[in-house]
Amino acid sequence: MQQNKIPQATAKRLPLYYRFLNNLNQQGKKRVSSKELSEAVKVDSATIRRDFSYFGALGKKGYGYNVEYLLGFFRSTLDHHEVTEVALIGAGNLGTAFLKYSFLKNNNIRISKAFDADERKVGSDIDGVPIYHIDDLSEQLDGIRVAILTVPSTEAEVITENLVKEGINGILNFTPARITVPNHVRVHHIDLAVELQALVYFLKHYPLDKE
Amino acid sequence: MQQNKIPQATAKRLPLYYRFLNNLNQQGKKRVSSKELSEAVKVDSATIRRDFSYFGALGKKGYGYNVEYLLGFFRSTLDHHEVTEVALIGAGNLGTAFLKYSFLKNNNIRISKAFDADERKVGSDIDGVPIYHIDDLSEQLDGIRVAILTVPSTEAEVITENLVKEGINGILNFTPARITVPNHVRVHHIDLAVELQALVYFLKHYPLDKE
DNA sequence: TAAAAGTCGTGATATTTTTCACAATTAATT
DNA sequence: AATTAATTGTGAAAAATATCACGACTTTTA
Ligand SMILES: NC(=O)c1ccc[n+]([C@@H]2O[C@H](COP(=O)([O-])OP(=O)(O)OC[C@H]3O[C@@H](n4cnc5c(N)ncnc54)[C@H](O)[C@@H]3O)[C@@H](O)[C@H]2O)c1
Ligand SMILES: NC(=O)c1ccc[n+]([C@@H]2O[C@H](COP(=O)([O-])OP(=O)(O)OC[C@H]3O[C@@H](n4cnc5c(N)ncnc54)[C@H](O)[C@@H]3O)[C@@H](O)[C@H]2O)c1
């Protein structure tokens, strides 16, 4: 669908641009240059211009970008007029933090259902999000295509199989397990322990001054 | 310090390799090939061999890698014999989840102190980690060089300044704010809302089958 | 109105990362 | 002992990403 010419690296930065444009818009700013944007999001200004250029000529030479126009453009590009429903699997420590956070305001994403195996949690809700039993995926998941996975890593593989069976095609996996999926399913890993360890590694092994 | 020849992309994968080698070792496995490892961590086997090769010839042709040897090697490379102490700033929803998680077992990282501005939290502890007042950074932080930032985004910039002043040189920033730091300080961003939105974007705009 | 300053869009170039593909070597098998 | 199968380490190529640098155009200033 659409031009899949857009590099992945660019696609990953789009939500970031979008959020900052939103901020600017709320501050009443009318125009912005790639240089200003660069300082705010810490991405080289040439990279920003290049990123934008994949979508056509969105700016004006000598002027910069019109915030409102750009925002409108991104809104439709990011499908931001419609809310994306997401399921959360595993309402534990991490899962609960997500349930309490509103992705709706800035991101038009709503965690609308949670699933867990713990009988004490099933039937309750967290900040208005109902928790269902994991065995009821089939009945309750209907239509939802994206899942956040915050279960113990030992459960990840089996649960993933079920999620895929029920039509999920996007998984944000916080589990350390590297899950296997058919190739119509997209998995993004966020491995917090790895991130932390990588940071520590960089601190110890890379020159301190100058990047 | 050390050969900073190692590409960043490689460095980021090291903790991942390390964890899987640990698993294998615990399962009693004596040898492993780049092909097996590849299937487990979902990284191309040539990439794995290349990554390892930056540290010298760690394997044996026709045999593969000796798990124990490789593990020992990574242990010292990742400084895994000593525990890295980390401070958590902002014991809210996300912060609490981290405090309840043990990074010690697999990663030799310990969140040893937490800081918050909420008087009701200060003085208590979460899973044994004491919560101090953010104003007491100076007295309490001593020696800690790495911080996890999980405060409201509006506070991020000011707090960062203080952290830097107190000698922090690595920050894992979960705030949507893009913080500004002197260039001897390293910041890694984990922007959960962006990750989620990027996943949704990929699902809608990239071909479903094949990659 | 003319000159100066600012800024985009992009060809060209540089850098980084990934992958291919194979000689060299080891282990396993017959 | 000889043959076959497995697997590394790496030169070379490819792919992806980032940056430079400048012509073209717009806005601002004088
Ligand atoms: N909390 C952190 O800071 C942190 C850090 C790094 C990685 N992780 C990873 O994130 C995942 C979640 O961590 P957590 O701290 O929230 O763990 P947790 O134990 O607090 O939560 C796990 C939740 O999953 C539920 N669960 C167990 N089996 C299930 C099943 N079969 N189906 C549905 N739900 C099931 C449990 O009832 C629990 O509510 C883990 O894989 C962990 O390794 C967490
Ligand atoms: N929870 C999530 O799922 C989620 C998702 C995406 C992004 N984030 C981001 O992570 C950050 C934390 O989120 P959260 O949900 O844990 O928020 P939270 O409000 O639950 O926690 C913030 C904590 O910071 C403390 N705090 C406030 N001001 C402080 C100060 N000056 N010094 C020290 N502590 C201070 C508060 O007392 C509170 O305990 C936010 O920036 C949020 O945008 C969270």
Confidence of residue B211 (pLDDT cuts 50, 70, 90): very low
CB B85 within 8 A of CB B142: no
Tell whether the model's pLDDT for residue B43 goes beyond 80: yes
Residue-wise pLDDT for A55-88, tens only, equals 999 999 999 999 999 999 999 888 778 899 999 9
Report how far residue B91's alpha carbon sits from residue B147's, in angstroms, rounded to the nearest whole number. 12
- Burial (CB < 10 A; 0-12, 13-18, 19+), residue A187, is middle
| Superfamily per CATH, domain A84-194 | NAD(P)-binding Rossmann-like Domain (3.40.50.720)
The mean-pLDDT minimum among A91-95, B34-38, B72-76 falls in B72-76
* Residue A5, SS3 per DSSP: coil
CB-nearest to A196 from B16, B100, B172 is: B172
Closest CA to A74 of A27, A6, A145, A28: A6
User: Looking at residue B210, what is its pLDDT?
Assistant: 39
Q: B166-196: buried (b, 16+ CB within 10 Å) or exposed (e) per residue?
A: bebbbbbbbbbbbbebeeebbbebbbbbbbb
Of A1-10, B7-16, B51-60, minimum mean pLDDT range: A1-10
What number is the average pLDDT over the span A143-168? 97
Residues A156/A177, Cβ–Cβ less than 8 Å: yes
**Does the structure show a pLDDT above 70 at B208?**
no
Instruction: Quickly state the pLDDT bin for B142 (edges 50, 70, 90).
Output: confident
B159-190: pLDDT as tens digits: 999 999 999 999 999 999 999 999 899 999 99
Q: What would the DSSP string read from start to end of chain B?
A: ---TTS-HHHHHHHHHHHHHHHHHHHTT--EE-HHHHHHHHTS-HHHHHHHHHTT---SBTTTBEEHHHHHHHHHHHTTTTSPEEEEEE--SHHHHHHHTS--HHHH-EEEEEEEES-TTTTT-EETTEEEEEGGGHHHH-TT--EEEE-S-HHHHHHHHHHHHHTT--EEEE-SSS-----TTSEEEE--HHHHHHHHHHHHHHS-SS--
Distance B160 CA to ligand 2 centre (A): 14
Q: B186: which strand partners? A: B170
Those residues whose C-beta lies under 8 Å from the C-beta of residue B18, and which sit 6 or more positions away, are: A197, B71, B74, B75, B78, B80
* CA torsion, ordered A179, A174, A86, B198, to nearest 10 deg: -90
* Banded pLDDT at B209 (limits 50, 70, 90): low
In the predicted model, what is the mean pLDDT of residues A22-29?
94
pLDDT attached to residue B3:
54
Q: What is the pLDDT of residue A209?
A: 53
Ligand 2 nearest-atom number relative to CA B158: 31
pLDDT reported for residue A183? 86
The one-letter amino acid at B6: I
pLDDT of residue A5: 80
pLDDT at B1 (0 to 100): 45
Whether the Cβ atoms of residue A131 and residue A122 lie closer than 8 Å to each other:
yes
Beta bridge partners of residue B189, listed in sequence order? B173
Which ligand has its closest atom nearest to the C-alpha of B151?
Answer: 2
**Options 1.10.10.10, 3.60.20.10, 3.10.150.10, 1.20.1560.10; which CATH number does A3-76 get?**
1.10.10.10
Q: Is the pLDDT of residue B2 over 80?
A: no
- Residue B51, CA distances (Å) to A154, B40, B42, B45, B75 in order: 27, 16, 14, 10, 16
Nearest-CA residue relative to C1' of C8 = A61
B164 CA: distance to closest CA in chain A (Å)? 14
In this prediction, residue A142 carries a pLDDT of 87
Closest CA to B15 of B78, B84, B108: B78
Residue found under tokens 């899949």 = A4
Distance B37 CA to ligand 2 centre (A): 37
Domains of chain A, by residue range, sit at: 3-76, 84-194
Pocket of ligand 2 (CB under 6 A): A 97-98, 101; B 89-95, 115-118, 134, 150-153, 155, 159, 174-176, 192-193
What's chain B's Rg over C-alpha atoms? 20
Cα dist. B177→A112, B155, B158 in Å?
26, 9, 11
Q: Rounded mean pLDDT of A35-47?
A: 97
Pocket test for ligand 1, best of A89, A94, A158 (most atoms within 8 A of CB): A94
Window from A115-129, A161-175, B74-88 with minimum mean pLDDT: B74-88
Q: Give the residue-averaged pLDDT of A119-148.
A: 97
- Rounded to 5°, the CA angle B7-B13-B19 comes to 145
For the cut 70, the answer to whether the pLDDT of residue A1 exceeds it is no
